[in-house]
Structure 1
Amino acid sequence: MSSSADTGDDRSDPGLSAIMSERRHLINLGYRLTGSLADAEDVVQETYARWYAMSAREQRAIESPGAWLVTVAGRICLNLLGSARARRETYVGDWIPEPLPEPTEWITGHSGAGGNDPADRITLDESVTMAFLVVLDAMTPAERVAFVLHDVFRYPFGEVSEIVGRTPAACRQLASSARRRIRTARTPAGPSTEQAAIVRQFRTAWEAKDIDALIGLLDPAATATADGGGLAVTHLHPIVGGEQIAHAYAEIARVAGDRTTFLECTVNGLPGLVAQQNGTIATVFAFEIAGERIRRIWAVRNPEKLRPWGVDRGVPSA
């Protein structure tokens, strides 16, 4: 398998630097395919383990090491997505993709100039917004892999077929089906500055426990989903309806009291909020905003999904 995403010609000597230069690309691919930074890290680790399990002669015989790594990582992700469906059956509450912070706001202070954290290597664009990842998660594993590889990373269907294990024509149909899902679920979003202003108004109304103001900012058919994974207290089922969400969130603010500080930040490339308690990020909130109203809220409280938001990162000021 060859690809325009390969970096350089490593045919004569697939050395360490050439192989490791693919790591960022693989992390980006793995996160979009699995919706989990932890799983993406595992996928990349397993991919490199398989590379170094080969003899030097076997490695030199590979025409394009970068393409080989992508093929292996893609197949691992495909298998992981299949097993994830079984794991979700025992997951407590709703499963939400793992949220990512803005590297310039959070990670530089934690990892140093070198940027050792895998989250620092995730490129934040439309393909990692929470709304986009949630739609990807509703796809079949084959649809997701075919769509992400072709539409996001621009691999031709002939190469995608080697990973998915289906014909190029079948992969084209899978990507087309996934594309229709994306179009159906996608809502027109305003500029980031306008979204940030709405999130700021929501934060102000929430802190004031102003139910009427909250209702005015929420779409009447809005949905709020939370992910505690059985490791943090939260509502187990989505809250449906702007008025219902306003009352529920006002109660959350009342219970939290002065122990909780709400801060504006960037979540998966878009304006969001975090709730900080005693110096610890307890919840990350992502929003989908359409027509100057909040349509979806995703609240991630599972501490295993908040590793990139550790307390030693330095919290941005509001």
Structure 2
Amino acid sequence: MGDFEFPRQNNGEFLAARFESHRPRLRAVAHRMLGSAAEADDAVQEAWFRLSHADPEQVENLGGWLTTVVGRVCLDMLRSRKSRAEEPLDLGTPVPATAPDPEQDALLADSVGAALLVVLETLTPAERLAFVLHDLFAVPFEEIASIVGRTPTAARQLASRARRRVRGAPAPDADLVRRRVVADAFLAAVREGDFDALVKLLDPDVVARSEGAVTTGAVAVATGATSFAHFAALARPALVDGVTGIALIVDGRPERTLTFTFVGDRIAVIDIVTDPEKVASLDVRLV
């Protein structure tokens, strides 16, 4: 009787399976780094692309290698975001994106917290990476140093500075009625094209994110918002996955959504979803 061998899995399939086992952690790292589910998916996909073109024999610790790659990709994305911070707010043309897992997003949102996401936006890219990787994922400073191109001591100082700012972050307003009043005032100001009213409703360091752009600062966000008054005529107050927001209703269905994170009586973060598949996956309830 001849020797029998179990069929071996294709090397590509084996590598893909190993990558998938690391995907949840990689996406969590990227989401905390970038604060955007769509951008996190892009970063993870880039990590897979690089892995698929690398020599697996040279990768001793796959989890550490992938975390390093995702960290570098996120660092590049954050630096690019800083350089284009004055891009106009895009509430118009939908940009195709991979739909995130709603359950995973809920877990990420709970663990990160709105206040943390807000204050992370104020950190430099290097500070943000050092804090997220070390304090949230226990990545050694020696590995972080290789990503940011600094010494371990400098990487430790980056995380320390970020930690002090995070600890001093104001807590987001948890009063649902109060949030609704501010959101409704925002919608009214957009409809009327009232630039001054919008600026007063926005935190000075407000961040507006869509699948295609990131805009920072009250003046830039208000300028972009007033240019889309024609969309606001179709918008309605809503809860989007339980979060205070606005939904653009076309033919009886939501076409795009805005959700808000508040600090005090001002809007600190606006998340805009325009991709049809992503909008369809949301629980939108008009109020």
TM-score, normalising length: structure 1: 0.61
Q: Which of the residues 280, 287, 290 maps onto 2:261?
A: 287
Do the aligned partners of 2:232 and 2:248 also contact (CA within 8 Å) in 1? no
Which residue of 2 is the match for residue 71 of structure 1? 68
Asked if 2 retains the 8 angstrom alpha-carbon contact of 1:282 and 1:301, the reply is yes
Q: 1:52 offset after TM fit, Å?
A: 1.6
Matches of 1:30 and 1:173, distance apart in 2: 22
Cα offset, 1:314, TM superposition: 5.1
Deviation at 1:301, TM superposition (A): 4.7
Residue 275 of structure 1 corresponds to which residue in structure 2? Answer: 247
Note the C-alpha offset of 1:237: 3.9
Kindly tell me: are residues 296 and 83 of structure 1, through their superposed partners in 2, closer, same or farther at Cα, counting changes over 3 Å? closer
Q: 1:265 aligns with which of 232, 240, 244?
A: 240
> Structure 1 CA distance, aligned partners of 2:25 and 2:167?
26
- Measure the CA separation in 2 of the matches of 1:256 and 1:23: 38
- 1:84-163 aligned within 5 A: 84-89=81-86, 91-92=87-88, 117-120=99-102, 121-122=104-105, 123-127=108-112, 129=114, 131-163=115-147
Which residue matches 2:284? 315
CA distance in 2, matches of 1:39, 1:289: 24
Cα displacement (A) at 1:302: 7.1
* CA offset digits 1:150-207 (Å, max 9, x no partner): 12222232332232232221111001111222233x11356xxx5334335656x759
Q: What amino acid does structure 2 have at the position aligned with 1:195?
A: D
The 1:307–1:43 alpha-carbon spacing in structure 2 relative to 1, beyond 3 Å, is farther
1:93-112 CA-partner distances (Å, limit 9, x unpaired): 59xxxxxxxxxxxxxxxxxx
CA shift in 2, pair 1:236/1:93, >3 Å: farther
Shift of 1:74: 0.9
Structure 2 residue corresponding to 1:198, chosen from 178, 182, 186: 178
Q: Which amino acid aligns with 2:266?
A: R
SS at structure 1 position matched to 2:84? helix
Among 184, 187, 191, the residue aligned to 2:170: 187
Q: Distance in 2 between matches of 1:82 and 1:297?
A: 21
**What residue in structure 2 maps to residue 107 of structure 1?**
none
The CA RMSD over aligned residues, in Å, is 4.0
Could you say what secondary structure the match of 1:81 adopts? helix
Q: Say if 1:275 and 1:44 are closer, same or farther in 2 by CA, change over 3 A.
A: same
Contact kept, 8 Å, 1:226 with 1:237, in 2: the verdict is no
Whether contact under 8 Å (1:14, 1:65) holds in the other structure is no
5+ residue gaps, structure 1, are 1-12, 95-115, 210-220, 240-247
Correspondence for 2:202: 223
**In 2, distance between residues paired with 1:170 and 1:137?**
21
Cα gap change, 1:93 to 1:118, in 2 (>3 Å)? closer
- The percent of aligned pairs where both chains have the same amino acid is 32
Matching residue of 1:39: 39
Alpha carbons of structure 1 residues 158 and 180: separation in structure 2 relative to 1, 3 Å: same
Q: CA deviation at 1:48?
A: 1.1
Count residues with an aligned counterpart: 243
CA–CA separation in structure 2 for the residues paired with 1:175 and 1:223: 28
Show the counterpart of 1:218.
none
Question: Measured at CA, do residues 314 and 188 of structure 1 come closer, stay the same or move farther in structure 2, by a change above 3 Å?
Answer: closer
TM-aligned CA distance change 1:164 to 1:198, over 3 Å: same
State the Cα distance separating 1:124 from its structure 2 match. 1.8
What is the rounded CA distance, in whole Å, between the counterparts of 1:308 and 1:143 in structure 2? 34
Q: Contact 1:287 / 1:297 at 8 angstroms: preserved in 2?
A: yes
Deviation (angstroms), 1:66 = 1.2
Query: AA paired with 2:244?
Result: G
